[in-house]
Amino acid sequence: MYDVIILGSGPAGLTAALYCGRANKNTLVMAGDTLGGQVSSIATLENYPGWRGSGMELIEFMKSQAESFDAKVKMKTVAHIDNNADGTFTVTDTHGEKYDTRTIILATGASPRKLDIAGAREFFGRGVSYCATCDGFFFTDKTVLVIGGGNSALNDALYLADIAKTVKIIYRKSSFTRAEAILRDRVAAKKNIECIFNTELKEISARSNSDSGELIATTTDGEQIICDGIFVAIGHEANTDYLTEDIKRDDMGRIAPESLPAGMFVAGDVHSDIKMQVATAVGTGCTAAMDAIAYLNKNA
């Protein structure tokens, strides 16, 4: 029986693991498929105070710090959670293994929202990508599109601009009002980034007369844009499919804390009503851990 099982290994989950470990609670982190979640794919993390480096370097440091206080980190993914009659929980992973715990911290984060147009699914992994840092090198000296207009899209475009020959940002609105000013300025200064506003795609298809794997991105106005790759950054959806329907979520699938049963807590991007930033993830990870520790001590 664990004292705490933490679902997710991003900054929220690993912060919670650090605090629970330091409180001498028997702690397990079920890290999911990818250690660190979204943060692990950030090439340069420059807006988290006190850190200068990649997202993966930060995650490795946080993991090591939590493990130094005996928190266990396993690459396991939650499938579902059972509430037991005695107030404990049983977590089942995707391989059918079961883990009993007195408390749970939900820190499973969010995943990129998928592009829902014709061809997007068909060409996923064959020109369509949701991770610029993972797949950018495939498009060295080529032409790529970035779909989106927030911080993630502009960060992706800036990263790709140092790899690709040409980067075109496709955005459905007239300006990048959702993105930080510093990112807008950097995009404007890049000579190989072109911004195409008031434009949406309706279809992705292969260019039939091309042997190089070029794609055709067709807009809702019928314009065809030839490119080698398409990177999608149109927001995120919370990873909460493992939870029962009685737990209240917002329109992004994020969890309302007040709907959770006693002994269950939430942190990070899966928490409703917070900004999706590393700093807020760390803060909510700390809060969830302290609440879990207080709960355990009260019900010892």
Catalytic position from the list 33, 82, 100, 134: 134
Catalytic position from the list 70, 131, 286, 291: 131
Q: Tell me, yes or no, if 135 is annotated catalytic.
A: yes
SS3 of the chain:
CEEEEEECCCHHHHHHHHHHHHCCCCEEEECCCCCCHHHHHCCCECCCCCCCECHHHHHHHHHHHHHCCCCEEECCCEEEEEECCCCCEEEEECCCCEEEEEEEEECCCEEECCCCCECCCCCECCCEECCHHHHHHHHCCCEEEEECCCHHHHHHHHHHHCCCCEEEEECCCCCCCCCCHHHHHHHHHCCCEEEECCCCEEEEEECCCCCCCCEEEEECCCCEEEECEEEECCCEEECCCCCCCCCCECCCCCECHHHCCCCEEECHHHECCCCCCHHHHHHHHHHHHHHHHHHHHHCC
Q: Tell me, yes or no, if 131 is annotated catalytic.
A: yes
Q: Tell me, yes or no, if 227 is annotated catalytic.
A: no
Give me the active site residues, please: 131, 134-135
